[in-house]
Chains A and B, each alone.
Chain A
């Protein structure tokens, strides 16, 4: 256990150094990336925000509350970029589908440690995190939330849960790439796009049955809308006003999805060890 922890820290340090070196060396690309992140974030926010300008209390949320939710959504996206954007770590179906797991298998570290750390980009992956955090704080300020330590910790904890939930979902659908590598190579990208484009929609006035679907088996609502409501509730009223079950729902759902992802990915790995990958493409490897 201690050895594994040391390995993970050693890998995180190495990937952080490599990210910094890349940033300093290929600064032009870094600037292009910031630009691309900024435009993407702007467009994502703009669509729903424009809706909120046209409809008072769009889907049960005020304009500033929507602004906070947009900020939270970008913050979650930022955490994803910070930890998982490098080397297709977040888009694991590409690694599996292209037969590139072999490269990881010949390293003397546990597979999970390499998958966990190889996407770490604390420098080049941070712009969206900062943008999201900034917008969320601005939104919270406009709503009138007094931001104290506990609330900020809860905000961070929910953010991490939402990000892990997205990762777990991507791993679940990416497990298909073990069985149909060419077809499912891009499935994680498609799944991520689904979260990116839909998580900014508030689900307040939606049909209750459909709403339940979006906070259970298709957890898009858990990646921004649901935790934002809890945070707004805790911020506007008080932490004590949070009901226990709704407050624990996101972490519990994250745990369930993570376990399912673990189960399916391990099953897929067994298949991979048995049949290997019928294809190999060096494209995108590192």
Chain B
């Protein structure tokens, strides 16, 4: 199905998209019963505020943001489930609302907390159902089924009832089902939620391979920034309905000052070293962790400073965890 997408057509374009909702407000007091029944108080919430975004074919994009930032709303708009209040949306050259049926034949959508599997049937029956509903040609179905079965290690669970699968198994089966029609673009909303470390690694490995080998465009949302960094080349950060950052993960670190961490192991029972322009984060078992901004304090200067201390036994320099970077970012947005 990949040949159906015109070369050069972006995978998706959001042009000045705004989405507003109204929310009912309640104070929980019994005296307001009649008011609640007749004229409930409403508040308008802007889920997306003039968002513009273009994602090219073959990209692997992490779409992140704090709770309520507008991630799921975006995916619903891109899937034709929701209409934007204003702005234009194009996915694979199609309008999600007008061409929903044609579009759904070419994209795959997975909401991680939901399942498309048939609960009271074995996994393979759900796959056969998908073959009919998506009208997948026999040879395409067989090829994709074989690929998904191998790569996602499904052979043991194909005959198992969906209701009896563990969360990791269910997620693998859902991803496999998503791919049976060979979508050009997939939207994954929290695909690693609740998975254990191994299942998560398998899932990430599979998605990367899919993107690299099949050229499938992947847009994935998650709260786990480490997962996203491992998967995606590009990260789009949403804040209160606006795109607050769009670039790669290193650039994201730079936004927050290009912070690095350094772990210094000293001789036993030594107090932490006093180092200029470095902030001590913690000390434990003679290992002292500092943070520094490499844009202000280049690495060679750090090493030069450290060479003056003979009591140092070991040094390890690493990038600040992306989770911390983003947490600081969220905090700074919140304070604003």
Contacts and interface: CB of A to CB of B under 8 A. Distances in A.
Direct contact of A and B (CB under 8 A): yes
Interface of A: 7, 10-11, 13-14, 17-18, 21-22, 25-26, 101-103, 105-110, 114, 273-276, 278, 280, 282, 285-286
B240 interface: no
Contact of A14 (B76, B83, B100, B132): B132
The 5 closest A-B pairs by CB, nearest first: A108-B104, A108-B105, A14-B132, A273-B83, A106-B109
B82 interface: yes
19 contacts: A10-B133, A11-B132, A11-B133, A14-B133, A26-B120, A102-B111, A106-B104, A107-B133, A107-B134, A108-B103, A108-B135, A273-B83, A273-B97, A276-B73, A276-B82, A280-B114, A282-B115, A286-B118, A286-B120
B132 A13 contact: yes
Contacts of B117: 286
Interface stretch (B4-12, B121-129, B209-217): B121-129
A26 B121 CA distance: 10
A274 B86 CA distance: 11
Contacts of A10: 132-133, 135
Interface residues of B, number: 36
A275 B22 contact: yes
Nearest to A103: B116
Interface in B68-124: 73, 76, 79-83, 85, 97, 100-105, 109, 111, 113-121
A18 B82 contact: no
A105 B134 contact: no
A interface secondary structure, majority? helix
B333 interface: no
Nearest to B76: A276
A282 B121 CA distance: 16
A105 B100 contact: yes
A267 to B, nearest CB: 14
Given A102-B111, A109-B101, 9 more contacts: A26-B120, A107-B134, A108-B135, A109-B133, A278-B21, A278-B23, A282-B114, A285-B115, A286-B119
Given A110-B101, A282-B115, A102 B133 contact: no
A276 B79 CA distance: 12
Contact of B128 (A11, A14, A285): A14
Contacts of B101: 108-110
A262 to B, nearest CB: 19
A18 B121 contact: yes
Contacts of B132: 10-11, 13-14
A13 to B, nearest CB: 7
A14 B134 CA distance: 12
A258 B134 CA distance: 28
B104 A107 contact: yes
Contacts of A7: 135
B215 to A, nearest CB: 21
B121 A285 contact: no
A274 B83 contact: yes
B125 A108 contact: no
A107 B73 CA distance: 18
Interface string B121-147: 100010011001111000000000000
Contacts of A276: 21, 73, 76, 81-82
A80 to B, nearest CB: 21
A108 B79 contact: no
A110 B99 CA distance: 11
A286 B133 CA distance: 15
A106 B189 CA distance: 14
A109 B85 CA distance: 25
A85 to B, nearest CB: 14
A282 B119 CA distance: 11
Contacts of A110: 101
A101 B81 CA distance: 9
Contacts of B121: 18, 21-22, 25
Contact of A105 (B22, B79, B114): B79
Contacts of B111: 102
A79 B317 CA distance: 72
A21 B81 contact: no
B249 to A, nearest CB: 30
B97 A21 contact: no
B120 A14 contact: no
Contacts of B118: 18, 286
A25 B161 CA distance: 11
A118 B105 CA distance: 19
A208 B6 CA distance: 67
Interface string B274-290: 00000000000000000
Contacts of B76: 102, 276
A7 B101 CA distance: 12
B304 to A, nearest CB: 57
Contacts of A285: 114-115, 119
A267 B220 CA distance: 32
B120 A22 contact: yes
Contacts of B119: 285-286
Contacts of B102: 108
Given A102-B76, A102-B111, A108 B134 contact: yes
Contacts of A25: 121
A2 to B, nearest CB: 14
B133 A108 contact: yes
Residue among B100, B104, B115, B119 with the highest chain A CB neighbour number at 10 A: B100
B268 to A, nearest CB: 55
A274 B82 contact: yes
A70 B80 CA distance: 46
